[in-house]
A = this chain, B = another copy of it.
Amino acid sequence: MKFEALINIMPHKALLDPQGKAVTGSMQNIGLPQITNVRIGKRITLEIEAVDEAEANEMVETACKKLLANLIMESYDYSVVVAK
């Protein structure tokens, strides 16, 4: 069966996010000072061929831990759905 995973990888809350800080500053310049605390992470989508959802979840977990997320600096969450 084919599944689709939607993965969010964000910098840890406790860490500075220089890219987000820069964008927060830029919000002033485009007239949106009401927007603050911008944090920028990664959004990853992928397709998985697996027998069931449990196996698909396991594969996504492995991919996040081994390759996609840097657990020292980032945390991740994901959802797996049956691909249309």
> What residues of chain A have their CB less than 8 Å away from a CB belonging to chain B?
8-10, 20, 23-24, 26-27, 30, 32, 34-50, 59, 62-63, 66-68
A8, B59: Cα distance in complex, Å = 23
In the bound complex, how far is the Cα of B49 from the Cα of A56, in angstroms?
Answer: 39
How many copies of this kind of chain does the complex include? 2
The A contact surface, by secondary structure, is strand
The one of B20, B39, B46 that contacts A36, using a Cβ cutoff of 8 Å: B46
Q: Do the beta carbons of B35 and A40 come within 8 Å of each other?
A: no
Kindly list chain B residues whose C-beta atoms are within 8 Å of the C-beta of A66.
30
Please tell me if the beta carbons of A59 and B39 are within 8 angstroms of each other in the complex.
no
Task: Provide the bound-state CA to CA distance between A35 and B27, in Å.
Answer: 37
